Amino acid sequence: MSKLLITKKINARPFVYRYRELYCDDVRLVGLAGEYGTPLYVYSAGQIRERFQMFQQAFAGEPHTICYSVKANSSLAILRLLSRMGAGFDIVSGGELERVRKASKAALKRVVFSGVGKQEWEIDAALQAGILIFNVESEAELHLLAARAEALKVRARFALRVNPDVFAETHPYISTGLREHKFGIDIKAARRIYRSASRYQWLDAAGVSVHIGSQIRDVAPFAAALERVAALIGELRSDGLDIRYVDAGGGLGIEYKDGVFDAAGEVARYAGALRGAARLMKTHMLLEPGRFIVAQAGGLLTRVLYVKQNGAKTFVVTDAGMNDLIRPSLYQAHHEVLPVQQARSGASSKLVDVVGPVCESGDFFARDRSFTSVKSGDLVLLLDAGAYGMSLSSNYNTRTRPAEVLVEGDEHQLIRRRERLSDLFATERLPRSSKK
């Protein structure tokens, strides 16, 4: 495609205007909306590969595995795409384990199982699948893991997820590294717990895990957390433990606003902050990026239903709602909103609220946002929706969830069909009438 056709490049994202019309890579969004309807999640395979390769290149020469965080976007097609590049996977449920199995059985050996509330059946399934390591988050969980490993006669590699009490500036709902959070074990208690685990024949204390939060833009907290982990590993090795893995977690953030974002530079700075501690610890590094890999690769395509005026307020009502993308309502998150048909230079704009049809005042995507004039039937795109968009979607208001499409250059394929109302009722049963 000639560079002369590109009128505007959306910074660090796969969405571009050509002849004043928005494309994902080389595919017209207008065409996708016509073929698959709206709301519609659209992802760029090329962008996902590019972001994954940034991490691989940044940590080249260091023993490492990039374990994509499945909760960010658990589409089977995306998991398979990443597995074929050698990705491992960070999971937090038995359901996510099954998703990895369906995407790539070979990748089960590269699975890290995190989460504070693992159930017995989930532990059994992971042991039988031969996953790489369990990130254990409480003493009670460690006892259950030991019991299930003994019952199944499967040796369980584990790391304690330690809580380093490191503050990372992010939304409080996605901060995880302080003592008052539910995650992990106080790092001061970790040495005692590792020692107590040595009495279990079927446990292998193979690593230490740490995760301080998500959407973190400053690399200093990552380095601070690993410094505390390195000190702990020194103590554990002096106790005779063979610590081979350090799980540094994920959490590297992106730029959601329309500002300059040097993705490769961000990853390089992140790697620089971790490398020193990694070499000191002489371990295999496990990294768990999710958002950074998929967020900017995806957008939510939606159609304007109505434009209405309430007093001084103008509302652009779309066919997508908070059940399709809850981040603005849940986290007060910012998502850029673009018209699919680009306005001509000099076109007037006004402040609007972009909202959905769900029966909640919290059902909004943007408030008091400067926006060019749109009308019923026009298409708009919500940027940076590839992470925690579809994976957090719901059927609230008995609304069906969107379809998903994966773009590969100038080709595209449906990777999840749109839900039907019949899908929503398939698991429900009406009670039999009682006789009185």
- Three-state DSSP class for residue 7: strand
Residue 380 near residue 304, CB atoms below 8 Å: yes
The pLDDT assigned to 434 comes to: 66
Phi and psi, residue 184, nearest 5°: 75, -175
At 250-307, the pLDDT tens digits run 889 999 998 788 999 999 999 998 887 777 789 999 999 999 999 999 999 999 999 9
Quick one: CA dihedral 127, 82, 412, 389, positive or negative? positive
Does residue 174 register a pLDDT over 80? no
DSSP code per residue over 8-71: EEPTTSSEEEETTEEEETTEEHHHHHHHH-SSEEEEEHHHHHHHHHHHHHHTTTS-EEEEEEGG
At 192-204, the pLDDT tens digits run 999 999 999 999 9
Return the CA Rg of the chain.
23
Q: Model-level pTM?
A: 0.92
The pLDDT assigned to 220 comes to: 86
Q: How distant is the alpha carbon of residue 254 from its chain centre? A: 12
Residue 320 near residue 358, CB atoms below 8 Å: no
- Three-state DSSP class for residue 138: coil
At 127-140, the pLDDT tens digits run 999 999 999 999 99
- The residue among 97, 100, 104, 86 whose CA lies nearest residue 119 is 97
Residue 97 near residue 125, CB atoms below 8 Å: yes
- Residue 97, C-beta contacts closer than 8 angstroms, at least 6 positions apart: 91, 108, 111, 113, 122, 125, 126, 129, 131
Residue 392 near residue 402, CB atoms below 8 Å: no
Phi and psi, residue 163, nearest 5°: -100, 110
At 16-72, the pLDDT tens digits run 999 999 999 999 999 999 999 999 999 999 999 999 999 999 999 899 999 999 999
Q: Label residue 111 exposed, middle or buried (CB < 10 Å: 0-12, 13-18, 19+).
A: buried
Choosing from 140, 260, 359, 426, which is the catalytic residue?
A: 359
Does residue 379 register a pLDDT over 70? yes
Q: What is the C-alpha separation between 384 and 401, in angstroms, rounded?
A: 18
Copy the structure tokens of residue 108.
Answer: 């089960």
Which of 157-161, 174-178, 193-197, 322-326 has the least mean pLDDT? 174-178
The pLDDT assigned to 15 comes to: 96
Does residue 359 register a pLDDT over 70? yes
- The residue among 278, 361, 266 whose CA lies nearest residue 313 is 361
Per-residue confidence at 177, pLDDT binned at 50, 70, 90?
very low
CATH code, 114-289: 3.20.20.10
Across the chain, what does the average pLDDT equal? 91
Share of the chain above pLDDT 90, in %: 80
Pick the CATH number of 3-43+297-419 from 2.102.10.10, 2.40.37.10, 3.30.450.80, 3.40.50.720: 2.40.37.10
Annotated active-site residue 24? The verdict is no
Phi and psi, residue 100, nearest 5°: -65, -40
Q: What is the C-alpha separation between 382 and 377, in angstroms, rounded?
A: 16
Domain ranges of the chain: 3-43+297-419, 114-289
Residue 391: how many CA atoms within 13 Å on its side-chain side?
A: 21
